[in-house]
Amino acid sequence: MDFPVKKFFSYYKPHLRLFLSILACALIVSALSLVFPLLVRYITKEVLAGDLSNAILQVYWVGGLMLLVTAVQNIGNYIVDYKGHELGARMESSLRTELFEHMQKLSFSFYDKEKTGQLMARITNDLLWLSELYHHGPEDYLKYLVRFIGAFFILFFINAPLTIVIFCFLPVLGFIIFYFNKLENKALIRNKERIGDVNAQVEDSLAGIRVVKSFANEQVEIGKFTRENNRFLESRISFYKTEANFYNVTQTFIQLITIAVIIFGSSSIVNKTLDLADLITFMLYINYMLEPVQKMAQMSTLFQEGITGFQRFTEIMKLKPTIENRPGAVTLGNVRGEIEFNNVQFRYEEDLNNVLNHLSLKINPGEYVALVGPSGAGKTTFCSLIPRFYDVSAGKVMLDGLDVRTIDLASLRNNIGIVQQDVYLFAGTVMENIRYGNPEASDNEIIAAARSANAHDFIMKLPDGYQSEIGQRGVRLSGGQKQRLSIARVFLKNPPVLILDEATSALDNESESIIKDSLELLAKGRTTIVIAHRLSTIRNAHRIIVLTEEGIAEEGTHDELLARQGAYSLLYSKQFEPIV
């Protein structure tokens, strides 16, 4: 993948003043560090080699200058460290917000393929390493570049031939760094994928912990986790092997450079082309030249972690929602609730078979329509096309005569209420979960919605009433209680179009009876589409549509369909007594 350099540096723009002040401090600190060997050279070559009667005062003067330089360096280092990490944290927060906001825009088709654990790894671990690169990268590279260039020119001034000898090693060292960086990049991408798999396995196992324990399959889950964990371990070991090779090869070259300096430097002293003070200075500055190379090896891990993190960040950011507003999208006014499917075809992927084929159907405003049929006939898919969770492959889905693809998404979905069989409640209080239906609603409106959903009485029996914590996914509530809260949310939303996706199929008879009353009240005056498993719950539907894999098999009222002795009658007879 080509690395988007311009995009990478664009994230500094909102924090440019802070960033430049940190770089300025890093530049000052680096420049001042070059002064120390020169002061040492001055003492050894000028002060101690001359008249020693006044040497002590000069030593004190130089020592005082060293203390001043040290103080300024420490202040600069403090600013670079503290404000640098603050910069990294701010950028990490901004990037995480941007990524999360973008994920919220992506369509169902994206989440159908992706694992939650992988996405969590991208939004947490990847961005943590990226923030470290944003902080340490430019600051450290500037610091070491100044030291390297400064040291090179000072060394060249002291002894040009010896400096050239050292410089001959550097191209080889640069090639080694480049080569191992590429290896580390590949290894780190693999690491991030593997830790994402570990996260996905953990999320899957913990989300289904009640199923795990009900089947006493803890060891099965431990086995699955161990497999993913071992794969991650293998990838880490592979990376550490590359890192160790990198470090040791560079260290070998650095030692060769040091040996070369000692040999050629000593020869120069013997040949009287270099004195001992200059050799000592040379050795001090050699560290300044080689420190960036050493740090490059150490920083390579940080660099590659950050770079691969940014690559994975941009992978998601480049994805476009498959469902989004068209130019000039219409905002709905008063919705009557007329729904029409016009020769609709739909498939989830280009290489898959159609789920719906040439389906045409009109639902009148305020009509109560039930969808029944075998599993896999496309009932849920049919309902998912109305709020544009997916777009049709061919044909049109219309609301009040408008193609839903021409309607503003927020406006469309705000006018459709959905109650599903698999209720999702968020960690938090009862009040917060009901308010999800209308974030602007008052407490009184929420209580009124709960009363309409037959939920108020059980809520008041909870320890803290409407302020009771219900746990993640509402684990502290029964199935019927969770369903009533989801119905209260839709009451609060008050949409003109209502979709009930097998809302009572998983409940006991008593809960079903309570919720059936709530749903009938909710459906009054609204265009309602019910996906029904229990056919006893839809006897009063204005129209029942029998949907099969071939399309609409038949439609009519409950009594009309039973009288026809067709597909509906067969479904009904399987749940109740055979029709005579």
| pLDDT for position 460 | 92
Where residue 343 falls among pLDDT bands split at 50, 70, 90? very high
pLDDT at 385: 92
Highest average pLDDT, of 287-296, 299-308, 351-360, comes from 351-360
- The enclosing H or E element of 547 equals strand 543-548
| Average pLDDT score over residue span 445-455 | 88
pLDDT of residue 576: 64
Output the pLDDT for position 213: 65
Structure tokens at 323: 């469902």
CATH number 3.40.50.300 given to 339-575: yes
- Which residue is associated with the tokens 């019910």? 530
Task: Output the pLDDT for position 578.
Answer: 47
> CATH homologous superfamily for 8-318?
ABC transporter type 1, transmembrane domain (1.20.1560.10)
Question: What is the C-alpha separation between 195 and 569, in angstroms, rounded?
Answer: 52
pLDDT per position as a tens digit, 116-141: 777 887 888 788 888 888 888 888 88
SS3 content of the chain, % helix, strand, coil (to 5): 65, 10, 25
> Would you say 313 and 3 are in contact if contact means Cβ atoms under 8 Å apart?
no
pLDDT tens digits for range 250-275: 778 778 887 888 888 788 888 877 77
Task: Say yes or no to pLDDT of 52 above 80.
Answer: no
Which range among 151-160, 225-234, 399-408, 442-451 shows the weakest confidence by mean pLDDT?
151-160
Domain ranges in the chain are 8-318, 339-575
Q: Compute the mean pLDDT over every residue in the chain, rounded to the nearest whole number.
A: 83
Task: Check residue 481 and give its pLDDT.
Answer: 84
Under the banding of pLDDT at 50, 70 and 90, the label for residue 444 is very high
Q: How confident is the model at residue 539 (pLDDT cuts 50, 70, 90)?
A: confident
DSSP 333: -
- The stretch 545-553 carries a mean pLDDT of 88
Position 579 confidence tier, pLDDT thresholds 50, 70, 90:
very low
pLDDT above 90 (res 143): no
Select, from the ranges 271-280, 499-508, 559-568, the one with the highest average predicted confidence (pLDDT): 559-568
Reference 33, options 72, 85, 80; nearest CA is 72
> What's the whole-number mean pLDDT along residues 455-461?
89
Residue 512 has what pLDDT? 63
**Residue 111 corresponds to which tokens in the numbers above?**
């989440």
CA 431/CA 12 separation, integer angstroms: 40
Give me the mean pLDDT over the 84-105 stretch: 88
Q: What is the pLDDT of residues 15-33, one digit of tens each?
A: 999 999 999 998 998 888 8
pLDDT at 515 over 60: yes
Residue 236 has pLDDT above 80, yes or no: yes
* Range in 246-250, 272-276, 287-291, 418-422 the model is least confident about: 287-291
Q: What is the pTM of this model?
A: 0.73
Q: How far apart are CA 139 and CA 97, in angstroms?
A: 25
CA atoms lying within 13 Å on the CB side of residue 20 = 5
